[in-house]
Amino acid sequence: MQVRKSFDEELQSLKKELLRMTEFAQEMLDLSVMALKNQDIELAEKVVKKDQFLNEQETDLNNHAVTLIAKQAPVASDLRQLIAAIKISSEVERIGDLAVNIAKSTIRIGNKETLIKPIVDIPKMIDIVKSMLTDAILSYRNNNTIQARNVAEADDKVDAYHKKLIDELMKLMTVHPQYTSQILQLSFICRYVERIGDHITNISEHVIFVDTGIQYDLNN
C-alpha cells in the first residue's frame, strides 16, 4: 500500500513538472507575439535566450519519467501516463522552439521599416493557439477527453487563418517586391503559428491515449 502511495505521489509530482514546463512555454509564446506586435527586438532576444531553460526542463522531466518506469515497472494506465508525459513534454518543447522562431523572425524584420501589413491578423491567429494550449493543458490536468477533442476542432480555425494570411502575403509580394524579405518573414511566422496548433493537437491526442490506450490522429 505504501509503495502505491509513493508511486501516486511521484506521478503527481511529474504532472506538476509538466504543467510548470507548459506555463513557461506559454510565457515564451506570449512574449514572442508581444515582441512582434511592438517590433521590440530586445524582447525578442530575451525569448531566444529562454529556450535553453525549456530544453533543460524537458530533459529533467524525461529523466524523472524514465526513472519511474525503470524502478516501478508500471503497467496499463500508469504506464500510459508516463509515456504521455514524455510525449507531451516533447510537444511543449517544440512549441517553445517555434516561439523562438517567431522571435528570430521579428529580429530579422527589425524595428526601422514600416510593416507592409499591420500586425493584426497574426496575433488573432496566435490568440486561438494560446486558447488551445490552455484548454489542452486543462484537459491533461483534469483527464478530460471531451475537452481534448474540442481542442483539435479549434485547430481547423488556425489552418483557415494560415491559408488566408499566406494568400494575402503572396499577393502583397507581387505588388510590393521591395518588401519581399519582410513578407517572407511574416509568412514564416504564420507557418510557425500553424505548426504550434498542430503540436497542441498532438497534446490532445496524448491526453486521449492516457484514457483509452488508443493513439488517435486528430490532425486529419
From first to last of its 220 residues, the chain has per-residue pLDDT tens of 555 668 889 999 999 999 999 999 999 999 999 999 889 999 999 999 999 999 999 999 999 999 999 988 788 888 999 999 999 999 999 999 999 999 999 999 998 766 666 666 788 888 899 999 999 989 998 999 999 999 988 999 999 999 999 998 998 888 888 889 989 999 999 999 999 999 999 999 999 999 998 888 877 7
Q: For 70-73, which contacts have Cβ atoms below 8 Å and span 24 or more sequence positions?
A: 72/7, 72/10
> Taking every pair of C-alpha atoms in the chain, what is the biggest distance, in angstroms?
71
Residue type, 55: N
Residue type, 102: I
Sorted by where each starts, the structural domains of the chain and their CATH numbers stand as 2-212 (1.20.58.220)
CA 2 to chain centre: 37
Answer yes or no: are the C-beta atoms of 140 and 207 closer than 8 Å.
Answer: yes
Is this structure's pTM higher than 0.75?
A: yes
What CA–CA distance (Å, rounded) separates 29 from 37?
12
Instruction: Take residue 21 and report the three cell numbers written for it.
Output: 514546463
Instruction: Take residue 66 and report the three cell numbers written for it.
Output: 524514465
